[in-house]
């Protein structure tokens, strides 16, 4: 039987450059576009050869891309898993080929921790908690019901699961907070708008929209306006990401609070890949630091926001 060994014989590159295969989720949001650009720019700057694949939010495409990176004997595989489950088989194939795997942005739920070297990204549970904590403070003085609709991210994805759980945890202490409808908008503007239109039709009273990302919030804002209501006033909006378009909406009073999720992971990823390739040890978990924005803070940050 032939095994691929360390991948250093026939697949060896003559320029001695580090080659990373990166399997991206897709181009579903402004956040994702900024993340892709950060990774591509950082690779160029670091002199890394980047093989980039866009999975269009489909797990089977990501699995195919990872298999192709294994075949091409890249030095390191990095990817942002579209959903949490179902990765063990392909990650075992990478391990058998002695190609280290770095998770960026989203985690996998594999029990076998030897299937990847490290995970670089945000704490999504914490992000959901921050959104919920804001809501609790915002409605601290009232006692009437607060009807909430939730636009969830991609079903089965770590940010959708975790942002939902963190938010639920933050509001659970007070029964006046009621999530009256919750559905996926797949992290896109188009779906966010579509689902919000349905919520507006089916729900007699909506006080708050919690969107798992800014693009869905921005799509929902269109739906709310088309229904003759004022986003940010008639329906309060709390969202996650902190992209420029959301800051613009905040400066117009249309989003009330935004929890930051940092997409600029490129430089850290290149640094990690170089260390991993050199056999240096790296932390198992590297968490990005991020803040929150009120409309005033977003308006002030807007002129210098990069993405």
- Of 40-79, binders to ligand AHR (CB under 6 A) are none
Query: Measured from the CB atom, is 32 or 254 closer to ligand AHR?
Result: 32
Sheet containing strand 257-260, edge to edge, reads 177-184, 146-152, 208-211, 236-241, 257-260, 292-293
Residue choice 84, 105, 133, 260 for contact with ligand AHR (CB under 6 A): 105
Task: Give the contacts of 170 (CB within 8 A, at least 6 positions apart).
Answer: 128, 129, 130, 131, 132, 133, 135, 136
Is 139 a binding residue for ligand AHR by CB under 6 A? The answer is no
Is 213 a binding residue for ligand AHR by CB under 6 A? The answer is yes
Is 240 a binding residue for ligand AHR by CB under 6 A? The answer is yes
Query: Measured from the CB atom, is 105 or 207 closer to ligand AHR?
Result: 105
In whole angstroms, give the CA distance from residue 249 to residue 255: 6
What are the strands, taking DSSP E only, across the chain?
A: 19-24, 49-54, 76-79, 101-104, 118-121, 146-152, 177-184, 208-211, 236-241, 257-260, 285-287, 292-293
Is 22 a binding residue for ligand AHR by CB under 6 A? The answer is no
Alpha-carbon distances of 181 from 106, 178, 202, 217, 248, rounded to whole Å: 25, 9, 9, 15, 27
Tell me the closest approach of the beta carbon of residue 202 to ligand AHR, in angstroms. 25
Query: Measured from the CB atom, is 29 or 161 closer to ligand AHR?
Result: 29
Is 28 a binding residue for ligand AHR by CB under 6 A? The answer is yes
Q: Which long-range contacts (CB under 8 A, 24 or more apart) does 229-233 make?
A: 229/200, 231/255, 232/256
Residue choice 20, 22, 23, 31 for contact with ligand AHR (CB under 6 A): 31
In whole angstroms, give the CA distance from residue 127 to residue 162: 8
Tell me the closest approach of the beta carbon of residue 214 to ligand AHR, in angstroms. 7
Residue choice 75, 152, 241, 258 for contact with ligand AHR (CB under 6 A): 241
Tell me the closest approach of the beta carbon of residue 213 to ligand AHR, in angstroms. 4
Query: Measured from the CB atom, is 21 or 159 closer to ligand AHR?
Result: 159
SS3 content of the chain, % helix, strand, coil (to 5): 40, 20, 40
- Of 257-296, binders to ligand AHR (CB under 6 A) are 261
Alpha-carbon distances of 6 from 65, 102, 237, 273, rounded to whole Å: 19, 17, 51, 16
Residue choice 87, 134, 167, 187 for contact with ligand AHR (CB under 6 A): 187
Residue choice 34, 69, 74, 106 for contact with ligand AHR (CB under 6 A): 106
Binding site for ligand AHR (CB under 6 A): 28-29, 31-32, 105-106, 159, 187, 213, 215, 240-241, 261
């Amino acid at each position: 039987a032939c095994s691929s060994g360390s991948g250093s014989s026939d697949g060896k590159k003559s320029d001695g450059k580090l080659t990373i295969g990166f399997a991206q989720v897709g181009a579903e949001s402004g956040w994702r576009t900024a993340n892709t650009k950060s990774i591509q720019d950082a690779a160029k700057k670091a002199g890394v050869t980047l093989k980039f694949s866009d999975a269009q939010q489909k797990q089977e495409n990501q699995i195919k891309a990872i298999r192709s990176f294994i075949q091409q004997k890249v030095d390191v595989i990095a990817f942002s898993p579209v959903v949490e489950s179902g990765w063990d088989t392909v990650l075992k194939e990478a391990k058998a080929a002695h190609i280290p795997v770095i998770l960026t942005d989203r985690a996998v739920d594999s029990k076998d921790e030897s299937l990847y070297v490290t995970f670089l990204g945000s704490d999504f549970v914490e992000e959901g908690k921050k959104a919920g904590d804001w809501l609790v403070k915002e409605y601290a003085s009232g006692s009437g019901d607060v009807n909430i609709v939730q636009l969830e991210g991609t079903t089965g994805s770590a940010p959708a699961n975790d942002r939902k759980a963190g938010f639920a945890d933050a509001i659970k202490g007070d029964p006046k907070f009621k999530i009256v409808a919750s559905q996926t908008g797949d992290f896109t503007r188009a779906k966010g708008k579509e689902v919000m239109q349905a919520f507006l039709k089916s729900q007699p009273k909506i006080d708050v929209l919690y969107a798992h990302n800014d693009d869905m919030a921005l799509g929902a804002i269109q739906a709310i306006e088309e229904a003759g209501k004022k986003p940010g006033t008639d329906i309060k909006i709390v969202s996650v990401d902190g992209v420029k378009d959301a800051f613009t909406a905040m400066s117009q009073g249309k989003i009330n609070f935004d929890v930051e999720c940092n997409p600029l992971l490129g430089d850290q990823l290149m640094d990690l890949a170089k260390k991993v390739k050199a056999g240096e040890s790296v932390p198992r978990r590297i968490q990005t630091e991020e803040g929150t924005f009120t409309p005033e803070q977003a308006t002030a940050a807007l002129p210098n926001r990069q993405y």
